[in-house]
A = this chain, B = another copy of it.
Amino acid sequence: MTEEIVVIPGDGIGKEVVPAAVSVLEAVGDFEFVEADAGDAVKEETGEALPEETYELAASADATLFGAAGETAADVILPLRTAVDSFVNVRPAKAYPGVDALRPETDLVFLRENTEGVYSGHEDRLSEDLSTLTRVVTTSASERLAEFACDYVADREYDGFSVAHKANVMRETDGRFRDAVVSVAEDRGVETDEVLMDAFATRVCLDPTQFDVVVCPNLAGDVLSDLAAGLVGGLGLLPSANIGPERALFEPVHGTAPDIAGEGVANPSATIVSAAMLLEYLGYDGEGRRVRDAVEGVLADGPRTPDLGGDASTEDVTNAVLDRLD
């Protein structure tokens, strides 16, 4: 293991949880870490939330681990997703034993399209009164996502996946998305079912076990995965992976948590599980599994940070994870 991993703590609790995850990565492997800046603080100093150098590092590293950015979140994370050419954002939302959850039976994975939809960046101010945004959907991006989804469910022995969309209103664009995804799945012999994104929002609350893997356009994936976070007890536990053809970017779904930043009590679990996804992405499946098991053990038995009702520090939790890795 001598892969280069770029590490971008960012702002707020990013500076606490990323070092925690790095110490876990160090415990199971021998990587070369390169630290880089991004976020509100660097913007204040340099005028740029995402320095060119950071972008270039992410664009050439094997993998990048990002923490969180504050006000500048969109200016940092959207270009970073582009830097690694990521076409899918993998967002597992799973309730853990020992953690209070509104729906403890939740175990979902969102595969979110990561390049287009309303994230296209094309907006125009056409008059004093009127602005427009051009929502973009291509068959090629939808098919690439669908191929990934088919591999994903095959590797993990799921029966198939659901496609969440709003093609009853966005007939041409989400119709294109749905048709492309379903047709790839048919060719690959993977079962799919369809659900309108609004109906998904109701149904997942009533019974999250109706769904396993959910493939969706960019904004639908953003909102529906955050909804699932609400069912499992908050954003604090959700990891994510932005996967491209040659490199990838891993990040907890949570933000900078300004209310507790600097106190050393941030929950590092989401970032450590994101690091487990990074290990698996690089082919270290055994190590990834060990890290996940360690985090799950600590979530079940403690110690716990205040967000989970405990009074442990980030360091206590990290040390407990490290102990379980020995």
Binding site for B on A (CB under 8 A): 73-74, 78, 102-103, 118-119, 123-125, 128-140, 166, 168-173, 176, 197-199, 201-206, 219, 222-224, 226-227, 229-231, 233-235
> Roughly how many angstroms separate A133 CA and B176 CA in the complex, as a whole number?
11
The answer to whether A222 and B198 have CB atoms under 8 Å apart is yes
Q: A130-B139, A131-B172, A205-B227 known; 7 other A-B pairs, CB under 8 Å?
A: A102-B206, A129-B139, A131-B173, A132-B173, A133-B134, A201-B227, A206-B234
Residues of chain B within 8 A of A128, CB atoms compared:
139
9 A-B pairs with least C-beta separation: A205-B230, A123-B172, A201-B227, A133-B135, A198-B226, A202-B230, A201-B226, A133-B173, A74-B168
The answer to whether B135 and A118 have CB atoms under 8 Å apart is yes
> Roughly how many angstroms separate A13 CA and B203 CA in the complex, as a whole number?
19
A132-B135, A234-B206 are contacts. A123–B170 as well, Cβ < 8 Å?
A: yes
> Roughly how many angstroms separate A173 CA and B201 CA in the complex, as a whole number?
24
Residues of chain B within 8 A of A171, CB atoms compared:
123
For residue A143, give the distance in angstroms from its CB to the closest CB of chain B: 10
For residue A163, give the distance in angstroms from its CB to the closest CB of chain B: 16
The answer to whether A130 and B135 have CB atoms under 8 Å apart is no
The answer to whether B226 and A125 have CB atoms under 8 Å apart is no
> Roughly how many angstroms separate A234 CA and B206 CA in the complex, as a whole number?
7
Residues of chain B within 8 A of A125, CB atoms compared:
172, 176
For residue A162, give the distance in angstroms from its CB to the closest CB of chain B: 16
Residues of chain B within 8 A of A136, CB atoms compared:
130-132
Residues of chain B within 8 A of A172, CB atoms compared:
123-125, 131, 133
A205-B102, A234-B206 are contacts. A170–B227 as well, Cβ < 8 Å?
A: no
Residues of chain B within 8 A of A169, CB atoms compared:
74, 78, 118-119, 219
Residues of chain B within 8 A of A132, CB atoms compared:
134-137, 173
Residues of chain B within 8 A of A230, CB atoms compared:
201-206
Contact of A226 among B139, B140, B176, B202 (CB under 8 A): B202
The answer to whether B168 and A73 have CB atoms under 8 Å apart is yes
